[in-house]
């Protein structure tokens, strides 16, 4: 077991102000694998003070030098790739192959994009007789979730650092060990003391202290819509910048002309990835009435291939959920789906066969799901798919947009133009067309209650900039 006692503040590891600790549990074995300090408002004060002191120097650093430091950070993360993957698998439960490709690989890629953007972005522009300067917002308080723990850190830290901001990170309490690895990479990359600071702790204490802190100029939060609403209220009351990446209930629309087998199988895989703990997962599959029964059969058969197992086994495709509370939440939704009349065609609320420990949930598929059902409206955050029927294109648009969320989605059609025309009508921040690949330069964020602002690429960089116009 790794017992850590230290916060990364002002370029050094220093003891926490209090003696509280957070236990890190392996969700596959239910064993405690480490502890980190539970930070207090005093720790947050020290971290914010360090970030404020470092701000003038980092903001005045030439973009090319900031780019070089972010490039070194990318290299330091790449050197730790195997350790990162193993750590995420241990504290989150993601299958090792997924941790290597996504949890470790994606943040390295994103850091690389910001090394380039920091060097290439124009921090000045000419508009008529005016010069417009793009300057850093200031000190950023970043509060990140457990489901993609390193990716969400890098998606905030890299653009903030590229913009010339300094920051304080409060990572999720379920996955703090990979955040410590990130801090080690920051130190190795040679970022000046105080530019990046890490405070581990629980949300209602350290997270709230960071969001409320007068020395923080911007809060960037990824997590549930319920918590995001509170963060937004705090930031709004203080008249400070806020970015919120929140929940989703994304629709995967299979138009009649699409390759049904391909669309359904990939759709099921999308929902099962990361044990369904993905805010942008396509948890509502919409299929035309004429092909609905066939799609349900394909989906049930595809889900059955995601056998829960040991996440360290290279053959495992479905690991456990992150903790016991999350397992109870997801199985509760499955029971609700059954009680409200949905047809359970795969999985269910009982523990998977042969699993004696670990927070596992069976890969679950519901058919006969109607728009008013709870499982069609609320974010479940587990390996649960709802297959829904539509009668025509107008009906599909109505059902897809009948959600308080608008984070992501997908559309499938034989003709790309047909798919794009449908995608334009979706009220959501991102749409995958015929299984489109993830693009780390494309903006990611939501409409409606899915959030405020965008992450990744140049749009993610501008979130951390504010403008000043010089009039001549």
Return the pLDDT at 202. Answer: 97
For range 348-364, the mean pLDDT: 95
Kindly state whether residues 456 and 326 are assigned to the same domain. Answer: no
Per-residue pLDDT of 292-305, as tens digits, reads 999 999 999 999 99
CA distance 163 to 134: 9
Structural contact between residues 366 and 342, judged by C-beta atoms closer than 8 angstroms = yes
Return the pLDDT at 1. Answer: 85
**Whole-number percent of the chain with pLDDT over 90:** 98
Kindly state whether residues 235 and 272 are assigned to the same domain. Answer: no
Structural contact between residues 28 and 79, judged by C-beta atoms closer than 8 angstroms = no
Decide if 275 is inside a domain.
yes
Decide if 404 is inside a domain.
yes
Average pLDDT, the chain: 97
Model confidence band, residue 459 (pLDDT cutoffs 50, 70, 90): very high
Kindly state whether residues 220 and 129 are assigned to the same domain. Answer: yes
Model confidence band, residue 122 (pLDDT cutoffs 50, 70, 90): very high
**Could you confirm whether 184 is annotated as catalytic?**
no
Model confidence band, residue 468 (pLDDT cutoffs 50, 70, 90): very high
Kindly state whether residues 135 and 120 are assigned to the same domain. Answer: yes
Return the pLDDT at 2. Answer: 85
Active-site position among 212, 245, 379, 455? 245
Model confidence band, residue 3 (pLDDT cutoffs 50, 70, 90): confident
Kindly state whether residues 235 and 290 are assigned to the same domain. Answer: no
Return the pLDDT at 338. Answer: 98
Place of tokens 């060990």: 177
- Name the residue among 453, 285, 265, 468 with its Cα closest to residue 366: 285
Kindly state whether residues 86 and 142 are assigned to the same domain. Answer: yes
Kindly state whether residues 326 and 403 are assigned to the same domain. Answer: yes
For range 101-126, the mean pLDDT: 98
**Whole-number percent of the chain with pLDDT over 70:** 100
Give all strands of the β-sheet with 2-3 in edge-to-edge order: 2-3, 31-37, 21-26
Output the domain CATH number for residue 228: 3.40.605.10
HEC per residue, the chain = CEECCCEEECCEEECCCCCCEEEEEECCCCEEEEEEECCCHHHHHHHHHHHHHHHHHHHHCCHHHHHHHHHHHHHHHHHCHHHHHHHHHHHHCCCHHHHHHHHHHHHHHHHHHHHHHHHHCCCEEEECCEEEEEEECCEEEEECCCCCHHHHHHHHHHHHHHHCCEEEEECCCCCCHHHHHHHHHHHHHCCCCCCEEECCCCHHHHHHHHHHCCCCCEEEEECCHHHHHHHHHHHHHCCCEEEEECCCCCEEEECCCCCHHHHHHHHHHHHHHHHHCCCCCCCEEEEEHHHHHHHHHHHHHHHHCCCECCCCCCCCCECCCCCHHHHHHHHHHHHHHHHCCCEEEECCCCCCCCCCCCCCCCCEEEEEECCCCHHHHCCCCCCEEEEEEECCHHHHHHHHHCCCEECCEEEECCCHHHHHHHHCCCCCCCCEECCCCCCCCCCECCEECCEECCECHHHHHHCCEEEEEECC
CA distance 462 to 341: 46
Instruction: Please say if the pLDDT value at position 355 is more than 90.
Output: no
Instruction: Please say if the pLDDT value at position 354 is more than 90.
Output: no
Instruction: Please say if the pLDDT value at position 31 is more than 90.
Output: yes
End-to-end C-alpha distance for the chain, whole angstroms: 63
Domain span at residue 374 reads 251-439
**Could you confirm whether 245 is annotated as catalytic?**
yes
For range 12-35, the mean pLDDT: 97
Instruction: Please say if the pLDDT value at position 258 is more than 90.
Output: yes
For range 123-136, the mean pLDDT: 97
pTM, to two decimals: 0.97
Split into its structural domains, the chain has a count of 2
Count other Cβ atoms within 10 Å, centred on residue 354: 9
Instruction: Please say if the pLDDT value at position 64 is more than 90.
Output: yes
Kindly state whether residues 40 and 185 are assigned to the same domain. Answer: yes
Return the pLDDT at 73. Answer: 98
Per-residue pLDDT of 332-341, as tens digits, reads 999 999 999 9
Count other Cβ atoms within 10 Å, centred on residue 101: 12
Return the pLDDT at 356. Answer: 87
CA atoms within 13 A on the CB side of 230: 13
For range 308-327, the mean pLDDT: 97
Active-site position among 91, 279, 455, 463? 279
Output the domain CATH number for residue 412: 3.40.309.10
Kindly state whether residues 110 and 190 are assigned to the same domain. Answer: yes
Angle of CA points 91, 94, 95, to nearest 5°? 125
Kindly state whether residues 189 and 133 are assigned to the same domain. Answer: yes
Decide if 445 is inside a domain.
no
Return the pLDDT at 388. Answer: 98
Per-residue pLDDT of 158-184, as tens digits, reads 999 999 999 999 999 999 999 999 999
Kindly state whether residues 236 and 301 are assigned to the same domain. Answer: no
Decide if 444 is inside a domain.
no
Query: What tokens does 280 get?
Result: 């942008």
Kindly state whether residues 312 and 228 are assigned to the same domain. Answer: no
For range 233-242, the mean pLDDT: 93
Q: Which residue(s) pair with 346 in the sheet?
A: 365
Per-residue pLDDT of 365-424, as tens digits, reads 999 999 999 999 999 999 999 999 999 999 999 999 999 999 999 999 999 999 999 999
């Amino acid at each position: 077991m790794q017992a850590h006692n230290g916060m990364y503040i002002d370029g050094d590891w220093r003891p926490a102000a209090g003696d509280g600790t957070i236990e890190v549990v392996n969700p596959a074995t239910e064993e405690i694998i480490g502890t980190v300090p539970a930070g207090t408002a005093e720790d947050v004060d020290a971290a914010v003070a360090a970030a404020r002191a470092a701000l003038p120097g980092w903001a005045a650093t030439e973009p090319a030098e900031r780019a070089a430091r972010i490039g070194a950070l990318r290299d330091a993360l790449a050197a730790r790739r195997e350790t990162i993957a193993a750590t995420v698998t241990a504290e989150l439960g993601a299958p090792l192959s997924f941790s290597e490709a996504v949890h470790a690989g994606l943040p390295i890629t994103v850091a690389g994009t910001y090394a380039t953007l920091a060097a290439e972005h124009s921090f000045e522009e000419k508009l008529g007789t005016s010069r417009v300067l793009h300057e850093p917002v200031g000190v950023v308080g970043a509060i990140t979730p457990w489901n993609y723990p390193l990716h969400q850190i890098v998606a905030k830290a890299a653009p903030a650092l590229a913009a010339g901001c300094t920051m304080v990170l409060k990572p999720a309490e379920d996955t703090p060990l990979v955040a410590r690895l990130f801090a080690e990479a920051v130190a190795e990359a040679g970022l000046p003391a105080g530019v990046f600071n890490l405070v581990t702790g629980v949300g209602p204490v350290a997270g709230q202290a960071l969001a409320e802190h007068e020395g923080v100029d911007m809060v960037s939060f990824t997590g549930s819509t319920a918590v995001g609403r509170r963060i937004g209220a705090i930031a709004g009351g203080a008249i400070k910048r806020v970015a919120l990446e929140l929940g989703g209930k994304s629709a995967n629309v299979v138009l009649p002309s699409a390759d049904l087998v391909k669309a359904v199988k990939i759709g099921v895989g999308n929902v099962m990835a990361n044990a369904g703990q993905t805010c942008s997962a396509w948890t509502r599959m919409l299929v035309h009435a004429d092909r609905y029964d066939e799609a349900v059969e394909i989906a049930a058969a595809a889900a059955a291939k995601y056998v829960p197992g040991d996440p360290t086994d290279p053959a495992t495709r479905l690991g456990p959920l992150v903790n016991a509370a999350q397992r109870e939440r997801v199985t509760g939704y499955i029971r609700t789906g059954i009680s409200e009349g949905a047809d359970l065609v795969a999985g269910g609320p009982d523990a998977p066969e042969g699993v004696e420990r670990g927070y596992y949930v069976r890969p679950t598929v519901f058919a006969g799901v109607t728009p008013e059902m709870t499982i069609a409206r609320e974010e479940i955050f587990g390996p649960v798919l709802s297959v829904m029927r539509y009668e025509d294109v107008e009906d599909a648009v109505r059902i897809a947009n009948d959600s308080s969320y608008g984070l992501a989605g997908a559309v499938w059609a034989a003709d790309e133009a047909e798919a794009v025309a449908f995608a334009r009508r979706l009220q959501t921040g991102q749409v995958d067309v015929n299984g489109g690949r993830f693009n780390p330069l494309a903006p990611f964020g939501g409409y409606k209650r899915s959030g405020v602002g965008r992450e990744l690429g140049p749009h993610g960089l501008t979130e951390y900039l504010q403008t000043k116009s010089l009039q001549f």
